[in-house]
Homo-oligomer: A and B are copies of this chain.
Amino acid sequence: MALIVQKYGGTSVGSIERIANVARRIKSWHDQGHRLCVIVSAMSGVTDQLISQAKQLNPHPNDREMDSLLSTGEQVTISLLAIALHAIGVPAESFTGARAGILTDGTHTKARIRNISPERVLASLQNGNVGIIAGFQGQNDEGYITTLGRGGSDLSAIAMAAALKADVCQIYTDVDGVYTTDPRIVPTAKKIPVLSYDEMLEMASLGSKVMQARSVEFAKKFNVPFEVRSSLTETEGTLVKSETPDMESVVVRGVSLDRKQAKITITGVPDKPGFASRLFRALADAAINVDMIVQNISAAGVTDISFTVGSDELDKARRAAQPVITTLGATGMLAQEGIAKLSIVGIGMKSHSGVAAKMFESLAAAGVNIQMISTSEIKVSVIIEESLADQAVRAVHDAFGLSA
């Protein structure tokens, strides 16, 4: 008899048949006596089609009108899902973001949730209804519809779970959980039953396919446990929750891999204050996502700074960095594509020594050279040759005994 929040993404509700299938899944939970609040996305393809229509009329459509336009996608899904539930005898009521009491700031197309007034939804649940809520959208102070940007429906689900004080928040997706590493690389990779928020955030390449960092951060902030699970099977997924002492017994939780990285090294940087700030301000102003940054101790008054970006942003990053190099008198810039970032993640690392050494040893034994190293409390990342990435993942995954 729990209060369960579920979220189904665009693929899970991508056709009339799939909506009917989601309705049957909801019914099976409902029949067990649980109270349910279900957040849904627009049917897959709908949002892109609306964007395309708007851009045909205006290459730079107004953000406020785009929000009103795109919000119709989820509004269609909530009504269709409620109608499908009625057909199989499950009482249900649909709610737009506004009717569900999701209040946001006024930043159209990427609004932030400010507050949720869940009274209407709670009253409907108390009347025995399944509440069906449009994800990705809310309303600002002035009554305008807003949307939450990428990954917004996950955010709606987490926030709704917090507001309703739900017992569980289930994020249904097309993978059945988070694995110790990509099973396409290591077929014996196993599903991780429990992860901390921080581990989920650090499992970049694994986690980000499942959920945007933003939603995980929100869940961490409001301490909302959530489960990532498949909308195609009945198996349990991965539960993400706040750190508990027993989590530390597992030293390394998983091995994560980001391909398509590129590295830029600025050589001969004068060892004076201000260079790094100027450099990364210029990159930020060009909207370039910088990932790892490594700077060594200077020798003879000059030093090197290396950083990584997505390989599709390499050219843009070089153009943005060049004026800073020229102005502040560094000697040069080296760029390299074809690299990958391999990370081991686990909160157990904090209390275990020798983790990094073990990782480096396994890479050396596999003949993989390490180009850059960066560490955090719960992660060790290395930059390696992309062509060696698969064998590197297998070696590290094996070294930490992560296979099933």
Binding site for B on A (CB under 8 A): 16, 19-20, 23, 50, 53-54, 56-59, 61-62, 65-66, 68-69, 71-72, 75-76, 78-80, 82-84, 86-87, 94, 96, 99, 120, 143
Q: Per a CB cutoff under 8 Å, which of B23, B57, B65, B71 touches A16?
A: B57
- Which partner residue on chain B sits nearest A134 by CB separation? B68
Task: Determine if B80 and A94 form an interchain contact, defined as CB atoms under 8 angstroms apart.
Answer: no
* Bound CA–CA A62/B130 (angstroms): 14
Task: Determine if A79 and B83 form an interchain contact, defined as CB atoms under 8 angstroms apart.
Answer: no
Task: Determine if A58 and B84 form an interchain contact, defined as CB atoms under 8 angstroms apart.
Answer: yes
- Which partner residue on chain B sits nearest A71 by CB separation? B75
CB distance from A102 to the nearest CB of B (A): 14
Q: Per a CB cutoff under 8 Å, which of B54, B59, B76 touches A69?
A: B76
The 3 closest A-B pairs by CB, nearest first: A69-B79, A58-B87, A72-B72
How many subunits of this chain does the assembly comprise? 2
Most buried by B among A20, A83, A87, A94: A83
Task: Determine if B61 and A83 form an interchain contact, defined as CB atoms under 8 angstroms apart.
Answer: yes
Task: Determine if A76 and B50 form an interchain contact, defined as CB atoms under 8 angstroms apart.
Answer: yes
- Which partner residue on chain B sits nearest A84 by CB separation? B57
Q: Which residues of B contact A57 (CB under 8 A)?
A: 16, 19-20, 23, 80, 83-84, 87
CB distance from A97 to the nearest CB of B (A): 13
* Bound CA–CA A36/B54 (angstroms): 22
Q: Which residues of B contact A16 (CB under 8 A)?
A: 53, 56-57
Task: Determine if B80 and A69 form an interchain contact, defined as CB atoms under 8 angstroms apart.
Answer: yes
Given A19-B57, A57-B87, A120-B143, 9 additional A-B pairs, CB 8 A: A53-B80, A58-B86, A61-B83, A65-B82, A66-B79, A68-B75, A68-B96, A69-B83, A72-B75
Q: Which residues of B contact A72 (CB under 8 A)?
A: 72, 75-76
* Bound CA–CA A20/B79 (angstroms): 30
Task: Determine if A54 and B75 form an interchain contact, defined as CB atoms under 8 angstroms apart.
Answer: no
Q: Which residues of B contact A20 (CB under 8 A)?
A: 57
Most buried by B among A20, A56, A68: A68
Q: Which residues of B contact A84 (CB under 8 A)?
A: 57-58
Task: Determine if A94 and B79 form an interchain contact, defined as CB atoms under 8 angstroms apart.
Answer: no
* Bound CA–CA A310/B72 (angstroms): 38
Task: Determine if A68 and B80 form an interchain contact, defined as CB atoms under 8 angstroms apart.
Answer: no
Q: Which residues of B contact A23 (CB under 8 A)?
A: 57
Task: Determine if B86 and A61 form an interchain contact, defined as CB atoms under 8 angstroms apart.
Answer: yes
Task: Determine if B83 and A65 form an interchain contact, defined as CB atoms under 8 angstroms apart.
Answer: yes
Q: Which residues of B contact A76 (CB under 8 A)?
A: 50, 69, 72
- Which partner residue on chain B sits nearest A132 by CB separation? B65
Most buried by B among A19, A59, A72, A96: A72
Task: Determine if B99 and A83 form an interchain contact, defined as CB atoms under 8 angstroms apart.
Answer: no
Task: Determine if B68 and A54 form an interchain contact, defined as CB atoms under 8 angstroms apart.
Answer: no
Q: Which residues of B contact A79 (CB under 8 A)?
A: 54, 65-66, 68-69
Q: Which residues of B contact A82 (CB under 8 A)?
A: 62, 65
Q: Which residues of B contact A86 (CB under 8 A)?
A: 58, 61-62, 65
